[in-house]
Structure 1
Amino acid sequence: MESALDVNLIGNFLDPREMGASGSEDTVVIEMGKKIGDAHVITVNCPDRTGLGCDICRIILDFGLYITKGDVTTDGVWCYIVLWVVPHYDTLRLRWSHLKNQLVSVCPSCSTYFVLNLMSPCPASTPVYLLKFFCLDRNGLLHDVTQVLTELELSIQTVKVTTTPDGRVLDLFFITDNMDLLHTEKRQEETRGKFRSVLGESCISCELQLAGPEYECHQNVPSLSPAVAEELLTSEQFTAEDNRAQVLSDDMTKLKNVSVTFDNSLSPANTLLQIQCVDHRGLLYDVLRTLKDFDIKISYGRFSPQTQGHWDLDLFIQLKDGNKIVDLDKQNSLCSRLKAEMLHPLRVIITNRGPDAELLVANPVELSGKGRPRVFYDVTLSLKVLGICIFSAEIRRYTASGREWEVYRFLLDENCLFQLGSASARNEIVNKVRRTLMGW
């Protein structure tokens, strides 16, 4: 049983009447903003499990929404989460009913909760499909294709894009269906029809089928040189003068203002984790993903933006066994990982691949095996805006420093407005891609 101090803390952190949450018994309730510009309120009310907040934030990020503030509380059995969200992208294409269905799908049901006695069920394997199309190349093609996949709620698992010398492109997208309907002829025909529409007369062929052995072949470890792997994956801290950072100095100043502290004096049952940092897209997902990977439970907390784009996060947390985090080594390990995620949740560099320039983007993979949503979308959008054509692209997994990374590789076409051999041009590309990914 929680002490009176803990009960008071819960009351101070979360009052449903204060937030105007719906009294509906639905697991997920989405209350639309009353006027343009108002935040929409997502309320989740269901049995609790470790990592649930991370999974919810990942779905919200995948749907192109930005969390402006949030509250969460749990008694260890039941949780109540309220998040205020606004669209990052075109809200006209956002299917709110599908968002609700996805959120409900990750929430434990009452029967599942009590039957499994708090054990997380093993997720069923999702079938992977191969979308293959051959067409004439043009500027922005890859992003247009990625946008259609996003609108159809099809997730990219890996991709192989190759441009032929005669200006044609062969794209192999290995995808999964968030709606789990791609086995039906109606869903397949909708998908093919959307792609034929966006490709227009440039489309030579478009095929969709269950992925075969070729998927496992494309899952092989990418051949990064040791020097590139060191530059991209293993640097935990960097400075404004470090060439690996390649970010604008004002961005670096903002990123350095990161504070992570622990306090075990306020609650007999929980450790207070306080984080102060600059805002970026997916911030809450990055924090909760880290806690999930450390198998840490959140008892209650509040996330709110402060002045000039900075956030304060106050989280009362426990180890999975219900104890506080008093071990200094565990505190230091968690603190170091959280700071790394706040400083550079995504790594972006340009390096040489033979005579050509290659853009590399990497992000850590959850221990559950899930990569970060919308990275491919944002990178291809940045390159489209800059007028840079992509000669080839691929997504692979790579292991370094005991962590798995998702690595996006884009071989850039020299026939563009940028002199890709110029350091200033490369920095401009890196800055544009990074700022788009960070939502700045």
Structure 2
Amino acid sequence: MDIPSDDVVLIQLGNAPGQPTEISVNCPDKAGLGCDLCRIILEFGLCIIRGDFSTDGRWCYIVLWVEPNTSSYRVDWESLKNRLLSVCPSCLGSYYFTQPSSNSSQPSLYLLKYSCLDRKGLLHDVTKILSELEFTIQRVKVMTTPDGRVVDLFFITDGMELLHTKKRRDDTCELLMTVLGESSISCELQLAGPEYESLQGFSSLPPAIEEELFNQLPNKEDCLQALSMQTMTVNTAAIIVDNKLSPAHTLLQIKCADQKGLFYDILRTSKDLDIQIAYGRISSSVKGYREMDLFIQLTDGKKIVDPKQQTVLCSHLKEGMIHPLRVIVTNRGPDTELLVANPVERSGKGRPRVFYDVTLALKILGICIFSAEIGRHSTSERQWEVYRFLLDESPELPLASTRARSQITDRVRKTLMGW
């Protein structure tokens, strides 16, 4: 049974401005496919506003309605289609399919070294360009020299897999130099070498900071104000487990506050717990919250009837929905440091666009970044991706004040969650 690749992923734009775009995927199934698709959609700055999907374990059909997180954001729909196709099992003319070869090897890692004069919002402007070019930032090292220059080291992979060509590298540097204008000094882009290994030694977190970062609870009052709703708080997620409706599946009825990347967080958690979702429906957001129905099984095809397994599953899902990201502002010696952490998928991938959103929030606040780094930190339960930013003092927002620190965490969290 041959399936033309053009029919595997179909993208239908809305008929009028403001209408959502419909993305349909019709292909063989594989473990974690829904999570991979939602991750790419989130990476392209899109929000899933509703969806339906089903699978019999061999074949799946997924329909998602999406819209940009901001009205000014431009989406390259053809490139999005190609990226979605890259994670779908390939169509080779038989009912049982193999994985595309691109999934079996890691993409090449490149080093972008950029030097320029410092200014407010610079790091986000560079990050925005890299995002539009479909680069994924794997590691970053940002350093400010005493004479006001900034040296940025971005270790990136290319979603288009074209950085091996001289044209792609030259076009990237030329665009950066052009967009950033007179502040630009130099730009180099090449395959990463030993310098990448030197950044693997992520500085350890003090025990007190680790405790605060990974065991914090969401700020109820801030979230209520952000969502402006009284019927359900953001630190509440209701999950009803029903084993009576379906003879073969456990039904999860979920009601929770809406946020950016919500469905990705649910599918990431399910994927890491080896939960198979046979059918799901995502409702549109109503008054700031969503309802979802998920028919699930264990990997052995059985329902989840053990109360302990149900409790563990619901606990992990609620954590993923309520608190997928951690944000704190603390002291690092005499300096002020912003830390943001998110769980790493069992596949080793971190959450998309975190660096983009954090630098955007700091740009909105008018706060300059003295240095930044991305690393991994392991706790007893999981591995985390941790973003660390040393912040420059701001006359408008003195960083030592409790009010300023609260304002920073609030703005960063709201930007990350799409509130």
Residue deviations 1:107-153 (CA, integer Å, cap 9, x gap): 11233985667999962111100000111101110000000001100
Deviation at residue 343 of structure 1 after TM alignment: 1.5
Q: 1:68 and 2:53 equivalent?
A: no
Distance of 1:76 and 1:25 partners within structure 2: 22
Q: Distance in 2 between matches of 1:88 and 1:122?
A: 28
- Structure 2 partner of 1:250: 225
- Greater mean deviation of Cα atoms: 117-126 or 38-47: 117-126
Specify which of 358, 370, 379 is matched with residue 391 of structure 1: 370
Residue 240 (structure 1) shift: 4.2
Give the Cα separation in 2 of the matches to 1:272 and 1:285. 19
Q: 2:407 aligns with which of 428, 431, 434?
A: 428
| TM-score normalised by the chain length of structure 2 | 0.94
Partner of 2:280: 301
State whether residues 364 and 404 of structure 1, in contact with CA within 8 Å, keep that contact through their aligned partners in structure 2: yes
Instruction: Please tell me whether the aligned partners of residues 90 and 100 of structure 2 are also in contact (alpha carbons under 8 angstroms).
Output: no
Query: Using a 3 Å threshold, how does the CA distance of structure 1 residues 390 and 416 change in structure 2: closer, same or farther?
Result: farther
CA contact (8 A) 2:277 2:294 kept: yes
What does 1:138-157 align with in structure 2 at a 5 Å threshold? 138-157=119-138
Q: What SS does the aligned partner of 1:289 have?
A: helix
TM-score of the superposition, structure 1-length normalised?
A: 0.89
Question: Structure 2 CA distance, aligned partners of 1:121 and 1:97?
Answer: 18
| Partner AA of 1:224 in structure 2 | L
1:268 to 247, 267, 289: 247
Equivalent in the alignment of 1:16: none
1:241-283 CA-partner distances (Å, limit 9, x unpaired): 9xxxxx4553596212311221111111111011110000000
Q: Deviation per CA, 1:333-379, whole angstroms, max 9, x where unpaired? A: 11111111111111111000111111111100100011111111111
RMSD of aligned Cα (Å): 2.2
In structure 1, distance between residues paired with 2:101 and 2:246: 28
Distance 1:113 1:438, change over 3 A: farther
* 1:26 aligned counterpart, secondary structure: helix
Of residues 351, 358, 366 in structure 2, which corresponds to 1:379?
358
Output the CA distance in 2 between the equivalents of 1:338 and 1:26: 33
Distance 1:338 1:415 in 2: 39
- Give the aligned length: 412
User: What is the CA distance between 1:239 and its match in structure 2?
Assistant: 6.3
Q: 1:81 maps to what in 2? A: 62
Q: Does 1:400 pair with 2:379? A: yes
Q: Which residue of 1 aligns with 2:199?
A: 218
1:287 to 259, 266, 279: 266
Among residues 330, 336, 344, which one is paired with 1:357 in the alignment? 336
User: Following TM superposition, by how much is the alpha carbon of 1:220 offset from its aligned partner in structure 2, in angstroms?
Assistant: 2.2
Report how far residue 222 of structure 1 moved.
3.0
Distance 2:22 2:250 in 1: 28
Shift of the 306–206 alpha-carbon distance from structure 1 to 2, 3 Å rule, reads closer
The equivalent of 2:104 in structure 1 is 123
Matched, 1:418 2:397: yes
Identity rate, percent? 60
Cα distance, 1:198 vs structure 2: 2.0
Q: 8 Å contact 1:161–1:171 — kept in the other structure?
A: yes
**C-alpha displacement of 1:172:** 0.3
Asked if structure 1 preserves the Cα contact closer than 8 Å seen for 2:44 and 2:75, the reply is yes
Say which SS state the counterpart of residue 309 (structure 2) adopts: helix
Q: Which residue of 2 aligns with 1:185?
A: 166
What does residue range 306-385 of structure 1 map to in structure 2 within 5 Å? Answer: 306-385=285-364
The residue type equivalent to 1:197 in the other structure is T
Q: Which amino acid is 1:250 matched to?
A: Q
- Cα distance, 1:76 vs. partner? 1.4
Partner amino acid, structure 2, of 1:260:
I
Q: Does residue 227 of the first structure (1) align with residue 202 of the second (2)? A: no
Unaligned 5+ residue runs, structure 1?
1-22, 242-246
8 Å contact kept, 1:49–1:120: no
Which runs of 5 or more residues in structure 2 are unaligned? none
8 A Cα contact 1:388 1:416, kept in partner = no
